[in-house]
C-alpha cells in the first residue's frame, strides 16, 4: 500500500500506524455490532413485558455522554448508535 512518501523510515512507520488503525477499526465494528445486539435485546424484553419501545430519558443520557466526551460529532455518533440498536424512529 502506498504510504504517500518516498522516505523508507517514514513509510514504514506509516504502515505500522495504519495496521493499528485497521485493528482499532475492527474493534469498533465488533463493539458496534455487540452494542446493537444488546440494545435490541433490551428493547425486545421491554416490549415483551408491556413497556415502551424506547426510553427517551435513557437516549438523552447517552446523547449527553457522547456530546460531553466527543463534542458535537459525539452527538452524531450517539444518534447512529441509537439507531443501530432500535431502528429509525
How is residue 65 written as a grid cell?
455522554
Over residues 67-83, the mean pLDDT reads 97
pLDDT at residue 10, rounded to an integer: 94
Across the chain, mean pLDDT equals: 94
Question: Domains along the chain?
Answer: 8-86 (1.20.59.10)
Quick one: pLDDT band at residue 88, thresholds 50, 70, 90?
A: confident
Residue 1 has pLDDT above 90, yes or no: no
Selection from 46, 44, 45, 39 nearest residue 81 by Cα: 39
Residue 55 has pLDDT above 80, yes or no: yes
CB environment 60-78: b (16+ within 10 A), e (fewer): eebbeebbeeeeeebbeeb
CA distance linking residue 76 with residue 41, whole number of Å: 23
Over residues 20-37, the mean pLDDT reads 98
How deeply is 86 buried, as exposed, middle or buried, from its count of CB atoms within 10 A (0-12, 13-18, 19+)? middle
Amino acid at each position: 500500500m502506498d504510504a504517500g512518501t518516498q522516505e523508507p523510515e517514514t513509510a514504514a512507520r506509516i504502515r505500522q500506524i495504519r495496521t493499528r488503525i485497521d485493528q482499532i477499526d475492527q474493534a469498533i465494528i465488533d463493539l458496534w455490532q455487540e452494542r446493537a445486539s444488546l440494545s435490541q435485546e433490551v428493547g425486545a424484553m421491554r416490549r415483551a413485558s408491556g413497556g415502551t419501545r424506547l426510553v427517551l430519558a435513557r437516549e438523552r443520557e447517552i446523547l449527553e455522554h457522547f456530546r460531553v466526551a466527543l463534542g458535537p460529532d459525539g452527538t452524531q455518533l450517539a444518534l447512529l448508535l441509537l439507531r443501530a440498536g432500535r431502528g429509525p424512529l
